Chains A and B, each alone.
Chain A
Amino acid sequence: MSLANTAIAIPAKPRRAKRSGAHVTTLPLLAPSVGLLLVFSLVPLAATIYFSLIRYNLLNPAIHGFAGISNYRYLLRDPALYHSLLVSVLLVVEVLVITIGSAAVLASLFQKKFPGRSVARVLMISPFFVMPTVSALIWKNLLMHPVNGLIAWITRGLGLGVIDFFADWPVTAVVVIVAWQWMPFAFLILLTALQSLDEETREAADLDGAGPIAIFFNIELPHMGRAIAVVTMMETIFQLGIFAEIYVTTSGGPGDATTNLTFLIYERALLAFNVGGASAAGVIAIILANILATFMVRIVGKELDT
């Protein structure tokens, strides 16, 4: 996307606005934003492509010179790359399913009247304000710790034994943390969408004898379709780049169980100091992000109707 569309992104010349019939020059209005984003996405991209073609190790200046495609060849033969892609996709999909599923149900509950609704809503959305490093620390230490954590104490009390989340279920553990943070976001958007639903429709269904579950699936859920598309896009954008949660809790482990593409590049660049190899992975990440973006844009674009 970012490459394909750059050519059409800047309005080439002032256009005549059809609607008002007056000359409207949109260029000075659009140019600052579009221009900055272009520079910001293209210059580092060019630099990354350049680095990916040379041998460049921050620790060892003896490694230098033109590498051609050897960084890529090495990377594409590396199973770690494919595994990290799988982890990236798994994280995004699992978080999306959990957050949207529960947010839809909760939005349906919260649009009904009950005592203390606004206080409950404030509590509900609070996790969204917590910075990722802090929420990772809360879950890692206070809740999921296998010895002193609260969950371990509860499961021990119930006679279920102790689950060492970050050792046995590392991906699930990261998914739980990320979903906890992002569910409020999905919840807010779906709730707003649901509140625009005509009350009469719901009442009519109620009078016709439809139960709350039937109303949820046949009236409320379809009404939220557009909002769900928007949430899917926004969450995907943010969650492809999940970093802090992994950095704080598992550091990509155990082994490479929770190494997503972002973390893999980080490891190569800043822990192994292999700028060439990391840049090659960066270029691959950018290409994949663009392919994904094209798909998303197709789906959401249809919903958009600009």
Chain B
Amino acid sequence: MNQRARYSPVAGTFAWLAALLMFFPIFWMVLASFKTELGAIATPPQLVFVPTLENYDTILERADYLSFALNSVIISVGATVLALLLAVPAAYSMAFYPSKRTKGTLLWMLSTKMLPAVGVLVPIYLFAKSLDLLDTRTLLVIMNMLMNLPIVVWMLFTFFKEMPKAIIEATRIDGASQWQTMFLVLLPLVLPGIASTALLNIILCWNEAFWSLNLTAHDAAPLTAFIASFSAPQGLFWAKLSAASTLAIAPIVVFGWFSQRQLVSGLTFGAVK
């Protein structure tokens, strides 16, 4: 930022208004989770009220929140680590040893993300069933990894591409092997990029609902399934539903807040030259 840049009151006011407006639905939900059931549906809406923890008590009593949360963590982190292990070599090779096919391969990978998941649900379900993988974390780790692999390869590719090619040549001349070049020289350099790729991937996996709902029942069910189990038969129990929702999103939102600087710096997908 330029030193001469001054505060801009007009831009600031509009920016703050927009930010508060965007955040309001989340705030309103958290607020509702501390109301009584009657308070949550009251008109005019309650702004001042005696907060109650009753909803949280009920929710935590009825469902094993920690086991759902643990599943979410294991699945998101597991899928992300696995995707990175596969994608780093691929992105490295495409960025530094491009061929005529590189662009096609990259775009083909992205195009697989356009396939409607529901179109292949039946074969995948039957396949998982025959391997006895239904309702296992292993299956969800694999599915999440596959779903996001194209994005991970793409993001890493854009980071690797920004690295100066001369570095590679220098290390190669010094006699380093392919793997040494990649892991000892380049990886530390693109670490910020890898971090933001991992962050985005964890967020996407955490919020993935389609496969989680269709391929798990109980043992491997993550938080997206937790919230679905409360939404179906509850009708107008908004306060409890809000409490369950708050519990489901709190870990990832807080995680997102703390990592946002890192996330922001890397979320360009090569859009900035």
A interface residues, Cβ below 8 angstroms from B: 1-2, 5-6, 8-9, 11, 15, 17, 19-20, 22, 24-26, 28-30, 32-34, 36-37, 40-41, 43-45, 47-48, 51, 102, 106, 108-110, 112-117, 120-135, 137-139, 141-143, 147-148, 150, 153, 180, 183-185, 188-189, 191-193, 196, 199, 203, 212, 226-227, 229-231, 233-234, 236-238, 240-241, 243-244, 248, 261-262, 265-266, 269-270, 275, 278-279, 281-283, 285-286, 289-290, 292-294, 296-297, 300-301, 304, 306
Q: What is the CB-to-nearest-CB distance from A100 to chain B, in angstroms, rounded to a whole number?
A: 12
User: Quick check: B272 and A1 within 8 Å, CB to CB?
Assistant: no
A170 to B186, CA, bound (A): 50
Q: Which of B25, B98, B255, B268 has the most CB of A within 10 A?
A: B25
Show 12 residue pairs from A and B whose CB-CB distance is below 8 angstroms, ordered by the A residue.
Answer: A51-B122, A109-B14, A120-B15, A126-B256, A127-B23, A130-B253, A134-B249, A150-B45, A192-B265, A226-B271, A230-B269, A306-B103
On whether A282 and B119 interact (CB within 8 A), knowing A126-B253, A133-B228, the answer reads yes
- Contact residues, B239-273 vs A (CB, 8 A): 241-242, 245, 248-249, 252-253, 255-257, 260, 263-265, 267-273
B residues less than 8 Å from A41 (CB atoms): 112, 115
B interface residues, Cβ below 8 angstroms from A: 1-2, 4-9, 11-16, 18-20, 22-23, 25-26, 28-29, 32, 40-45, 86-87, 89-90, 92-94, 96-99, 101-124, 126-127, 146, 149-151, 153, 161, 165, 168-169, 172, 178, 203, 206-207, 209-210, 223-224, 227-228, 231, 236, 238, 241-242, 245, 248-249, 252-253, 255-257, 260, 263-265, 267-273
B residues less than 8 Å from A231 (CB atoms): 271
B residues less than 8 Å from A283 (CB atoms): 119
Q: What is the CB-to-nearest-CB distance from B243 to chain A, in angstroms, rounded to a whole number?
A: 12
A-B CB pair tally, cutoff 8 Å: 342
A residues less than 8 Å from B119 (CB atoms): 44, 48, 265, 279, 281-283, 285-286
A37 to B126, CA, bound (A): 19
A residues less than 8 Å from B165 (CB atoms): 19
- Nearest 7 pairs of A and B residues by beta carbon: A114-B12, A282-B119, A47-B123, A44-B120, A293-B111, A227-B271, A29-B93
User: Quick check: B12 and A30 within 8 Å, CB to CB?
Assistant: no
A residues less than 8 Å from B151 (CB atoms): 234
Q: What is the CB-to-nearest-CB distance from B259 to chain A, in angstroms, rounded to a whole number?
A: 10
On whether A269 and B248 interact (CB within 8 A), knowing A126-B26, A180-B25, the answer reads no
Q: What is the CB-to-nearest-CB distance from B94 to chain A, in angstroms, rounded to a whole number?
A: 7
Q: Which of B14, B113, B169, B206 contacts A20 (CB 8 A)?
A: B169
On whether A29 and B149 interact (CB within 8 A), knowing A15-B99, A282-B120, the answer reads no
User: Quick check: B122 and A203 within 8 Å, CB to CB?
Assistant: no
User: Quick one: closest A residue to B165, CB to CB?
Assistant: A19
Q: What is the CB-to-nearest-CB distance from A220 to chain B, in angstroms, rounded to a whole number?
A: 12
User: Quick check: A131 and B112 within 8 Å, CB to CB?
Assistant: no
User: Quick check: A24 and B264 within 8 Å, CB to CB?
Assistant: no
A125 to B124, CA, bound (A): 34
Q: Which of A24, A137, A138 contacts B97 (CB 8 A)?
A: A24
User: Quick one: closest B residue to A110, CB to CB?
Assistant: B15
User: Quick check: B5 and A37 within 8 Å, CB to CB?
Assistant: no
On whether A241 and B25 interact (CB within 8 A), knowing A114-B15, A153-B45, the answer reads no
Q: Which of A17, A34, A138 contacts B26 (CB 8 A)?
A: A138
A191 to B265, CA, bound (A): 10
Q: Which of A6, A24, A32, A306 contacts B86 (CB 8 A)?
A: A32
User: Quick check: B15 and A126 within 8 Å, CB to CB?
Assistant: no
Q: Which of B92, B103, B124 contacts A304 (CB 8 A)?
A: B103
User: Quick check: A127 and B271 within 8 Å, CB to CB?
Assistant: no
Q: Which of B109, B118, B124, B267 contacts A192 (CB 8 A)?
A: B267
User: Quick check: A282 and B118 within 8 Å, CB to CB?
Assistant: yes
User: Quick check: A26 and B97 within 8 Å, CB to CB?
Assistant: yes
User: Quick check: B98 and A306 within 8 Å, CB to CB?
Assistant: yes
User: Quick check: A127 and B116 within 8 Å, CB to CB?
Assistant: no
User: Quick check: A37 and B25 within 8 Å, CB to CB?
Assistant: no
Q: Which of A128, A189, A281, A294 contacts B203 (CB 8 A)?
A: A128
B residues less than 8 Å from A115 (CB atoms): 7, 12
On whether A11 and B101 interact (CB within 8 A), knowing A37-B150, A114-B16, the answer reads yes
A residues less than 8 Å from B178 (CB atoms): 24-25, 29
User: Quick check: B112 and A2 within 8 Å, CB to CB?
Assistant: yes
User: Quick check: B114 and A133 within 8 Å, CB to CB?
Assistant: no
User: Quick check: A292 and B114 within 8 Å, CB to CB?
Assistant: yes
A residues less than 8 Å from B227 (CB atoms): 131, 133-134, 137
A286 to B268, CA, bound (A): 28
A13 to B253, CA, bound (A): 46
Q: What is the CB-to-nearest-CB distance from A212 to chain B, in angstroms, rounded to a whole number?
A: 8
B residues less than 8 Å from A122 (CB atoms): 257, 260
User: Quick check: B16 and A116 within 8 Å, CB to CB?
Assistant: yes
User: Quick check: B111 and A30 within 8 Å, CB to CB?
Assistant: no
User: Quick one: closest A residue to B9, CB to CB?
Assistant: A114
User: Quick check: B256 and A193 within 8 Å, CB to CB?
Assistant: no
A134 to B161, CA, bound (A): 37
User: Quick check: A237 and B114 within 8 Å, CB to CB?
Assistant: yes
A112 to B8, CA, bound (A): 7
A24 to B94, CA, bound (A): 12
A residues less than 8 Å from B23 (CB atoms): 123-124, 126-127
